[in-house]
């Protein structure tokens, strides 16, 4: 059956044109600001999106839209024959033959203002042929499921992703270790559980926005709110079959990312539209409603666990299967599935392991990276199952984790030897801080208190050769400019890079500035600002660049003073000699050099330090067993404990206290590390109690802050304690490793375990709303 839709679907709740026009109206001040930066020739773009979850595109007629005064161009999939994708190239920039989710981009309009572009969308006629859809990842793996990507076998993928042609499985990562089948008979207790984790949205304060200009000579400039300017340059160039040198990406400070602005989502749309109006900049800004379902969302998950231990509480076997609801395109989600696979045991030492981590195409919004990169979803059920297993043999849950947590020197499930880790210390300190084992009386007779505990691990999920580079240059007055390609998204990375450069050089921190904005034409290369890797990877590059500059200074001064560079040092911006006690400021000499001691000529010149870093030691893993010498660069580990109070009359749960203890290797900026721990805990609380995209037949039912709530300051616990544990990372700068994402990972299961401790109920999926908690208590007979 053919269906014609002359009026586009702008969102899952069918907002009126009047409301959209009200949302989109550009104020005079905003227009003035745009004119200053991009000139009065700036055009505005809007996107026609699919109203169907799955359908063939039979015909597109844009003639009426092109005839509308003020419209300058309409583009469709005819202009985008190439594929785009980070790990798996499985989508066109604009849809060509079919649409795969409600919101898939079908056409783009460039016009003199947003209102005209919006009106033009109504005039584009698209004829669709609806197709059967997939809305459940488990059902999507069945042989009789509708096939969403018939060409999966022809897509280009990196060599550590394993698509299954003629299925909806875009990656299947496996771990096989020991004899799982034989181990069950040795177990004194076995638990089997299934948990579901919903899709959630990143909801950054700043929505996605991009401005693109394609000049007459073929040079493309893209200004974007981006975590991944270099990746965007690379992926868009490949999709358009042009040189990376033709694209310049400029990325100012980002108003919130959380993974939503990693890789490429809407930015390529702006570039393609700009190609149809060469010489004119084109601005594409998503509405808040579009932000909820047309950019990356966090993938949904169906997780099945089977765990067994002996009478002493020692884990003997684990058999976990993860079905990732990765949405319509899985170019980023396939690597999340891989990360969920190699980390699928959690931070536990288990001799017999079977893990299947399966990335499944569905007709839901596109799954992508979000803070934690699969680890919050994975640990959500795993840590509840571990609690249940401990309780089944009457063993204290914290003691259970003491006995089974991974330690330095252990062999993890992939065959890698675990590096030194402070996880045991994190467990001890978190338990002590929450006063584990002692339950305080509730604040009212109708309330119950409980405590919960959870541990976690997370590795930087990235290709084995993701690199970083940096430049350090002096100015005439010896102040320092550090150039990097990593992005400041509010996590404080520019502050930390300045600290590292100052420490390596031997100058005051106040002398150091990190250059911005990031610009792919001028900034040194950085893979992406993701994976909690910048402190470690980019930090190594900055340290190397600073040491390179330091070496140049000391060699110059040593030649001028006729001394050995080993006898010299730079302290507080001065070169000092430990041999002669001579001292000289860096000012002037780092640009103009020093006169030759014999009075003939000069020594030195402008000092420019260069540094780069790329891990060279990560190895491949066997496709059938997941075994290999080194699956990841390292793991950050940690523990969280919470105390909650449950209201028996309403089901409302209040988090009274939260404790976070993480091994960060070395805290370069302890206050910022603690802030990350606190912020991650609050964001974890948000996913535990409030967040979840409500999907019905592929349509998001709650694409606004009216119906999608996130935690605010009022929801934060009255008491939060952040504990820093430091066990140095051998390849980290000063021993440091990342902590940006990790504190969000164990919060939800810690809360779930605390609710169980308080009232004895389990729920198979968040969010744990008051209504859901009350109904679970009623079903369990806790309340009438």
Q: How buried is residue 300: exposed, middle or buried, by Cβ count under 10 Å (0-12/13-18/19+)?
A: buried
The pLDDT of residue 12 is above 50: no
Say if residue 6's pLDDT is above 60: no
Pick the closest to residue 250 from 284, 291, 220, 279 (CA basis).
220
- In whole angstroms, give the CA distance from residue 104 to residue 49: 5
Per-residue HEC secondary structure of 343-359 comes to CCCCCECCCEEEEEEEE
The tens digit of pLDDT for each residue in 490-529 reads: 999 999 999 999 999 999 999 999 999 999 999 999 999 9
Average pLDDT, the chain: 95
Kindly provide the residue ranges of all beta strands, DSSP E only, lying in 586-718, ordered along the sequence: 594-595, 602-603, 608-613, 636-647, 653-663, 695-696, 699-700
Contacts of 497 (CB under 8 A, 6+ apart): 470, 482, 484, 486, 514, 534, 538, 539, 542
3-class state of residue 435 by DSSP? coil
What mean pLDDT is predicted for residues 312-328?
98
Q: Summarize the confidence of residues 187-205 as an average pLDDT.
A: 97
Q: Do residues 719 and 529 lie in contact, with contact meaning Cβ atoms separated by under 8 Å?
A: no
Nearest-angstrom CA–CA distance, 777 and 762: 9
Q: Is the pLDDT of residue 656 over 60?
A: yes
Q: Nearest 5 degrees, angle CA 600-CA 605-CA 606?
A: 165
Beta-bridged to residue 480, according to DSSP, are 474, 512
pLDDT in tens, 419-436: 999 999 999 999 999 999
Which pLDDT value is given to residue 17? 26
User: Considering only 30-34, 167-171, 316-320, 629-633, which range has the smallest mean pLDDT?
Assistant: 30-34
Q: What are phi and psi of 647, to 5 degrees?
A: -85, 115
Name all domains of the chain by residue range, CATH numbers in brackets.
22-30+466-613 (3.30.365.10), 34-131+208-285 (3.90.1170.50), 373-462+635-779 (3.30.365.10)
User: Which residues are tagged catalytic?
Assistant: 741
Helix (H) or strand (E) holding 139: helix 137-140
pLDDT higher than threshold 90 for residue 332 = yes
Task: Report the candidate in 322, 300, 309 with the shortest Cα–Cα distance to residue 386.
Answer: 309
* pLDDT of 403 strictly over 50: yes
What pLDDT does residue 34 have? 75
| pLDDT tens column, 228-240 | 999 999 999 999 9
Q: Which residues sit opposite 688 in a β-bridge?
A: none
pLDDT for the residue 598: 85
Between the CA atoms of 120, 288, 301 and 405, what dihedral angle is there, to the nearest 10 degrees?
150
Strands (E), 156-267: 169-177, 189-197, 209-214, 220-224, 247-251
**Integer Cα distance of 475 and 478 in angstroms:** 5
Rg of the chain, C-alpha, whole Å:
28
List all residues 6 or more positions away from 108 whose beta carbon is below 8 Å from its beta carbon.
Answer: 45, 46, 47, 48, 74, 75, 76, 94, 269, 272, 273, 284
Q: What is the pLDDT of residues 357-386, one digit of tens each?
A: 999 999 999 999 999 999 999 999 999 999
Question: pLDDT for 553-572, tens place per residue?
Answer: 999 999 999 999 999 999 99
Q: List 47's β-bridge partners, or say none.
A: 108
Higher-pLDDT residue of 262 and 4 is 262
| 506-517 pLDDT per residue, tens | 999 999 999 999
CB atoms within 10 A of CB 614: 14
547 C-beta neighbours (distance < 10 Å), count: 16
Arithmetic mean of pLDDT, 321-347: 98
Does the pLDDT of residue 4 top 60, yes or no? no
Q: For 311-408, where are the E strands, in sequence order? A: 315-325, 352-360, 367-368
pLDDT tops 70 at residue 781: yes
Confidence label for 2 from pLDDT (cuts 50, 70 and 90)? very low
Give the C-alpha separation, 689 to 258, whole Å.
Answer: 19
Average pLDDT over residues 269-284: 98
Residue-wise pLDDT tens digits, 724-733: 999 999 999 9
- Give the span between the Cα atoms of 710 and 203, in whole angstroms: 9
User: Among residues of the chain, what percentage have pLDDT more than 90?
Assistant: 94
Q: Which residues contact 572 (CB under 8 A, 6 or more apart)?
A: 506, 507, 508
Predicted local confidence at residue 630, as pLDDT: 97
Tens digit of pLDDT for each residue in 573-584?
999 999 999 999
- Mean pLDDT on 346-350: 98
Q: CB pairs under 8 A, 24+ apart, for 755-763?
A: 755/450, 755/452, 755/644, 755/646, 755/653, 756/384, 756/387, 756/450, 756/452, 757/450, 757/451, 757/452, 758/448, 758/449, 758/450, 758/644, 758/645, 758/646, 759/448, 759/450, 759/646, 759/648, 762/384, 762/388
How far is residue 366 from each of residues 11, 105, 300, 590, 731, measured CA to CA in Å?
15, 12, 10, 51, 35
Query: At a CB cut-off of 8 Å and minimum separation 6, what does 37 contact?
Result: none
Cis (ω within 30 of 0) for the bond into 238?
A: no
Asked if the model's pLDDT at residue 20 lies above 60, the reply is no
Q: How far is CA 652 from CA 111, 446, 505, 681, 690, in A?
A: 49, 11, 54, 19, 12
Greatest alpha-carbon pair distance for the chain in Å reads 97
- How far is residue 212 CA from its own chain's centroid? 24
Q: Would you state the pLDDT for residue 29? A: 57
8 Å CB contact between 752 and 384: yes
- H/E run at residue 35: helix 28-38
Strand partners, 602: 595
Query: How many other C-beta atoms lie within 10 A of the C-beta of residue 63?
Result: 10
Which pLDDT band, with edges at 50, 70 and 90, does 26 fall under? very low
DSSP state, residue 157: B
- Whether the pLDDT of residue 11 is over 50: the answer is no
Q: How many helices (H) and strands (E) does the chain have?
A: 19, 36
**Alpha-carbon torsion 44, 48, 49, 51, what sign?**
positive
pLDDT in tens, 59-93: 999 999 999 999 999 999 999 999 999 999 999 99
Output helix, strand, coil percentages for the chain, rounded to the nearest 5: 30, 25, 45
- Under DSSP, is residue 439 helix (H, G, I), strand (E, B) or coil? coil
Whether a cis peptide bond, with omega within 30° of 0, leads into 345 is: no
At residue 588, does pLDDT exceed 90?
no
């Amino acid at each position: 059956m053919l269906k014609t839709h002359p009026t586009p679907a702008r969102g899952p709740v069918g907002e009126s044109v009047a409301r959209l026009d009200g949302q989109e109206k550009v104020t005079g001040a905003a227009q003035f600001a745009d004119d200053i930066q991009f000139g009065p020739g700036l055009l505005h773009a809007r996107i026609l999106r699919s109203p169907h979850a799955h359908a063939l595109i039979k015909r597109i007629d844009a003639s009426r839209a092109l005839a509308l005064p003020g419209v300058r161009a309409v583009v469709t999939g005819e202009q985008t024959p190439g594929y785009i994708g980070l790990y798996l190239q499985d989508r066109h920039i604009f849809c060509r033959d079919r649409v795969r989710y409600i919101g898939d981009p079908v056409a783009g309009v460039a016009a003199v203002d947003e209102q005209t572009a919006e009106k033009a969308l109504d005039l584009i006629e698209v004829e669709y042929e609806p197709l059967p859809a997939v809305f459940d990842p488990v059902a999507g793996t069945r042989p009789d499921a509708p096939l969403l990507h018939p060409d999966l076998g022809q897509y280009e993928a990196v060599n550590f992703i394993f698509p299954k042609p003629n299925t909806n499985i875009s990656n299947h990562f496996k771990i096989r270790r020991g004899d799982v089948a034989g181990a069950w008979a040795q177990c004194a207790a076995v638990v089997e559980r299934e948990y579901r984790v919903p899709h959630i949205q990143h909801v950054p304060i700043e929505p996605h926005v991009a401005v693109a200009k394609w000049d007459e000579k073929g040079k493309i400039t893209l200004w974007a709110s981006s975590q991944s300017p270099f990746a965007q340059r690379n992926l868009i160039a490949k999709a358009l079959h042009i040189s990376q040198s033709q694209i310049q990406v400029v990325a100012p400070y980002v108003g919130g990312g959380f993974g939503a602005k990693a890789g490429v989502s809407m930015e390529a749309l702006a570039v393609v539209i700009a190609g149809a109006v060469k010489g004119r900049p084109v601005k594409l800004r998503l509405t808040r409603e579009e932000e909820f379902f047309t950019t990356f969302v966090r993938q949904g998950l169906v997780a099945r666990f089977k765990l067994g231990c002996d009478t002493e509480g020692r884990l003997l076997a684990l058999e976990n299967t993860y079905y990732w609801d990765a949405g319509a395109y899985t170019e980023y989600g396939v690597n999340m599935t891989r990360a969920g696979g190699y980390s699928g045991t959690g931070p536990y030492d288990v001799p017999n392991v079977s893990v299947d981590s399966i990335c499944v195409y569905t007709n839901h919004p596109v799954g992508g990276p979000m803070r934690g990169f699969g680890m919050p979803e994975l640990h959500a059920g795993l840590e509840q199952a571990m609690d249940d297993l401990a309780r089944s043999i009457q063993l204290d849950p914290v003691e259970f984790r003491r006995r089974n947590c991974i330690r330095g020197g252990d062999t993890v499930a992939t065959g890698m030897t675990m590096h030194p880790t402070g996880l045991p210390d994190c467990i001890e300190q978190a338990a002590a801080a929450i006063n584990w084992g002692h339950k305080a009386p509730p604040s009212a007779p109708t309330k119950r208190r409980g405590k919960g505990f959870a541990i976690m691990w997370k590795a930087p999920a990235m290709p084995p050769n993701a690199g970083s580079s940096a430049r350090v240059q002096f100015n005439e007055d010896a102040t320092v400019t550090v150039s990097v390609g990593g992005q400041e998204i509010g996590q404080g990375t520019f502050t930390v890079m300045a600290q590292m450069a100052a420490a390596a050089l031997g100058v005051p921190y106040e002398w150091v500035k990190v250059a911005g904005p990031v610009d792919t034409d001028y900034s040194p290369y950085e893979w992406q600002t993701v994976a909690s890797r910048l402190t470690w990877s980019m930090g190594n590059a900055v340290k190397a660049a600073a040491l390179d500059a330091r070496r140049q200074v000391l060699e110059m001064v040593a030649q001028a003073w006729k001394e050995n560079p080993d006898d010299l040092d730079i302290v507080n911006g001065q070169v000092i000699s430990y041999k002669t006690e001579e001292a000289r400021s860096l000012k002037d000499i780092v640009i103009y050099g020093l006169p030759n001691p014999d009075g003939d000529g000069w020594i030195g010149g402008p000092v420019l330090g260069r540094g780069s870093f790329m891990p060279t030691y990560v190895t491949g893993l066997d496709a059938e067993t997941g075994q290999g010498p080194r699956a990841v660069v390292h793991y950050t580990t940690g523990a969280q404990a919470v105390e909650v109070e449950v209201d028996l009359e309403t089901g409302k749960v209040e988090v009274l206290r939260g404790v976070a203890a993480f091994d960060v290797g070395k805290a370069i900026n302890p206050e910022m590390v603690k802030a990350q721990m606190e912020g991650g805990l609050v964001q974890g609380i948000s996913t535990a109690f409030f967040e979840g995209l409500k999907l019905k037949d592929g349509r998001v039912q709650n694409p606004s802050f009216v119906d999608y709530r996130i935690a605010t300051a009022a929801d934060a616990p009255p008491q939060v304690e952040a504990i820093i544990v430091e066990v140095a990372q051998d390849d980290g700068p000063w021993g440091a490793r990342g902590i940006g994402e990790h504190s969000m990972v164990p919060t939800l299961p810690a809360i779930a375990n605390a609710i169980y401790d308080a009232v004895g109920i389990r729920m198979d999926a968040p969010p744990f709303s008051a209504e859901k908690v009350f109904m679970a208590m009623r079903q369990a007979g806790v309340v009438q």
